[in-house]
Amino acid sequence: MYRYFSEIFSGLWSLIVGMRITLVEFFKPNITLHYPHQTVKMPARYRGHIELIADEEGKPRCVVCGMCEKACPSGCITLEGEKPEGSKKKVLTSYKLDFTKCSLCGSCVDSCNFGAVEYSKEYNLASTRKEDYHFDLLKRLEDRHS
């Protein structure tokens, strides 16, 4: 009999304790980030899709060594370059990133010995077309610099 009543009362008490906690939470300010109105700054190391880095003249630093292409586990990167006449270095003619296959592992940035690629901070991509994510990074670079 004693156990019967003590169980009822301790049970009730645990319920009341729980309700007190949620009541306190009810009056606490909420922690929500109101996204389209407020945004959070991405940390410096945030890994978005990759972007090319330009040198001082606005040309890509990339030397078309193809290390990133080789390092990429899912084969998102295709780049082409050509050697213009009278130049020693290869010049990048196209750098295509298929972001829809990317796993954001960072192998490409790790493998680049020339510091030619970086992560972008784009974190809120959404579109009605899949093709929007087949980036032409060279074009994006030019757009940024024009």
Partner 1 sequence: MGTENIPSALVQFASADKLINLGRANSLWPLTFGIACCAIEMMAAGCARFDLARFGAEVFRPSPRQSDVMIVAGTISKKMAPGIKTLYDQMPEPKWVIAMGNCAISGGPFVFEGQYGIIEGADQFLPVDIYIPGCPPRPEALIEGIIELEYKITGWRRWPKVTAE
Partner 2 sequence: MTLTFLNIFIAVVIAIAFVAANAAYLVWCERKGAGFIQRRPGPTENGLWGLLQPPVDGIKLMTKQLMIPGGVDKIVFIIAPVLAMFPTIISFVTIPFSDQIVAHNMNIGLLMIFVFGSMSAMALLMAGWSSRNKFAMISSVRAVSQAVAYEIPMLVTTITVVMIAGSMDLMEIVHKQGGGFWHWNIWPLQNGLFNVLMPFSFLIFFICSLAETNRAPFDLGEAESELVAGYHTEYSSMGFGLFFMGEYANIVIGACLTTILFLGGWDCPFGLFPGVWWFLLKIYFLIFTFIWIRWTFPRTTIYSLLNLSWKVLIPISLFNLLLTAGLLKVF
Partner 3 sequence: MTEPIVLQPDETFVLNVGPQHPATHGVLRVKMTMDGEYIYNAETVIGYIHRMHEKMAENRTYSQYLPNLSRLDYLSAMAYSHGYVLAVEKAAAIEVPERAEYIRAITVELNRISSHLVWFGAFVLDLGGFSPLMYAFDDREQILDLLEGITGSRLTYCYFRFGGIYNDIDEDFIQGTRQFIKRMRKALKMYRKLVTTNIILIKRLKGIAPVSVDMCQRYGATGPVARGSGINYDVRKNEPYSVYSDFDFDVPVFTECDAYARYNVRMEEMEQSLRIIEQGLDKLPDGPVNPEKKPKAIKLPPGDYYSTVEAGRGSFGIRIVSDGDKNPYRLKLRTPTFSNMHLFDEACRGMLIADALAFMGSLDLVIPEMDR
Cβ proximity to partner 3: between 104 and 125 the closer is 104
Measured from the CB of residue 113, what is the shortest distance to partner 3 in angstroms?
11
Using CA atoms, how far apart are residues 122 and 145, in angstroms rounded to an integer?
17
Q: Determine the Cα–Cα distance for residues 115 and 109; give it in Å rounded to an integer.
A: 8
Distance separating alpha carbons of residues 102 and 49, to the nearest angstrom: 8
Q: Which does 28 bind (CB under 5 to 8 A by kind): partner 1, partner 2, partner 3, none?
A: partner 2
- Interacting residue with partner 1 among 53, 65, 99, 106 (CB under 8 A): 99
What order of strands is seen across the sheet that includes strand 134-136? 77-82, 91-98, 134-136
Please give the single-letter amino acid code of residue 93.
T
108 and 66 Cβ atoms separated by less than 8 Å: no
Binding mask 22-51 for partner 2 (x = CB under 8 A): xx-xxxx-xxx-x-----------------
| Closest CB 65 distance from partner 3, rounded Å | 14
Residues interacting with partner 1, by CB under 8 A? 30-37, 39-42, 48-49, 73-74, 98-105, 120-130, 132-133
